């Protein structure tokens, strides 16, 4: 049975439940940083999903990518399935700006997270309704 990994529960805020994926916001106000988690028990790699679910997954990824472009107008999207620390399949979708603190480096492991204020979260979540 699928259960969201403890680290993702601890570090993220639930934005929405899409047909295949749970959509999370990383609680780090330094970047618009979202994570898609397919609700499929035991999956570690995208290719662990049955082929129809892989197609569904990338459709939801494209939907999230377009939402990030339309909402935040970033210079670049970073879309990445890493999972070296948290093996449960989860795919980062990060809106990157030439002015963000990590640019042009990848964001992982660089700076400690700065949590959002509640009203900021509510504003971001409004895009998912």
| Residue numbers at the binding site for its own copies (CB under 8 A) | 44-47, 54-55, 58, 61-62, 65-66, 69, 76-85, 87, 96, 103-106, 108-109
For the CB of residue 37, give the shortest distance to its own copies in the complex, in Å.
15
Alpha carbons 29 and 118: distance in angstroms, whole number: 11
* Complex with its own copies: residue 80 or 121, whichever CB lies closer: 80
Give 126's contacts (C-beta < 8 A, 6+ positions apart): none
Q: In angstroms, give the least distance from the CB of 59 to its own copies.
A: 9
- Nearer to its own copies by C-beta: 72 or 116? 72
Q: How far is the CB of 68 from its own copies (least distance, A)?
A: 10
Residue 2 vs residues 26, 40, 72, 86: alpha-carbon distances, Å:
20, 6, 31, 15
Rg (CA), the chain: 14
Question: How many Cα atoms occupy the beta-carbon half-sphere of 86 within 13 Å?
Answer: 17
Tokens 């660089």, residue located: 110
In the complex, minimum distance from the CB of residue 50 to its own copies, in angstroms, rounded to a whole number: 12
Residue nearer to its own copies on the CB measure, 44 or 123: 44
Closer residue to its own copies (CB): 11 or 116: 11
């Amino acid at each position: 049975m699928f259960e969201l990994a403890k680290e993702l529960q601890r570090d993220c805020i639930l934005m929405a439940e899409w047909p295949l994926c749970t959509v999370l916001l990383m609680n780090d106000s330094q970047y618009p940083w979202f994570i898609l988690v397919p609700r499929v028990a035991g999956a570690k790699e995208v290719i662990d999903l049955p082929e129809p679910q892989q197609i569904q997954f990338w459709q939801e990824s494209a939907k999230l990518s377009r939402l990030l472009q339309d909402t935040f107008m970033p210079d670049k999207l970073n879309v990445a399935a890493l999972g070296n620390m948290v093996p449960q399949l989860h795919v980062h979708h990060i809106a990157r700006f030439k002015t963000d603190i990590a640019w042009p480096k990848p964001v992982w492991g660089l700076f400690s997270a700065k949590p959002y204020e509640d009203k900021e979260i509510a504003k971001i979540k409004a895009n998912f309704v």
